[in-house]
Amino acid sequence: MTPQVEIVVPVRNEESELVPNVQRLAAYLRNGFPATARIIIADNGSTDGTWELARGLANSDPDLVRAVHLDLPGRGRALHDVWSESDADVVAYMDVDLSTDLRALLPLIAPLLSGHSDLAIGTRLAHGARVARGWKRELISRMYNLLLHLTLGVRFSDAQCGFKAVRADVARTLLPLVADRSWFFDTELLVLAERAGLRIHEVPVDWADSADSRVRILATALGDLRGIWRVGWGLLLGKLRVPAVKLDRMTEGTLR
């Protein structure tokens, strides 16, 4: 059966966290979640036992869990490839460490299923969010989002929280325009969506930093700065053109 929501969990060398956290997500979706859902484990270039564990999870729960393998790394690459092929009404993703409290999932996807919004993002920087993380990562996050506001004039509050959802028709329109295949993918998608006049719904989340986070802060920051430069100049010089996106504003789905 075609699901209303497809949740991608991008992973690379995550054999220690994959099984318990996917099982936790699956249990949450079964325990009265009011939308039909599918979990896609998207292994992008793992060199440990992650892919074998992902296949095991899919084989043991084929009605809810599937696994796909990409040879090359990159969270953006995994999301781009899986979202492009999805048959769901709404495509979403979350980090495998489940840093975001799962109770935010329904507020994230409900406005998209109802047709109220086009994209939805979890935010750790808006009023009502509760965040537990070190001061260094908190400062870097706030500085990055401030830089986006100053350079690209964005209005969304948190570009990089690993908890997002997009209407599938919106994804099919925007994904061919998104060039980045790594960590800047999220930011680029949101910038293009905002420039296209799409509605971005924000959900303040409860978020706890993972002690096993694999994010390389310096390399990620440099990549993001290059992405801001590329997108900013592309928009300024007219090389990056965002088409007007015309969508059916009537309700496309309902919570079941």
Active site residues: 186
Characterize 68-80 residue by residue with b for buried, 16 or more Cβ atoms within 10 angstroms of its Cβ, and e for exposed: bebeebbbbbbbb
Cα dihedral 147, 93, 220, 43, rounded to 10, equals -170
Helix axes 217-236, 185-195, angle to 10 degrees: 30
- Which of 1, 53, 3 lies closest to 165 in space, CA to CA? 3
Contact at 8 Å (CB) between 158 and 200?
Answer: no
**Whole-angstrom Cα distance, residue 53 to residue 18?**
8
**Whole-angstrom Cα distance, residue 96 to residue 67?**
13
Please state the φ and ψ torsions of residue 223, each to the nearest 5 degrees: -65, -40
List the structure tokens of 45.
Answer: 């270039």
Q: What number of other Cβ atoms are within 10 A of residue 136's Cβ? A: 9
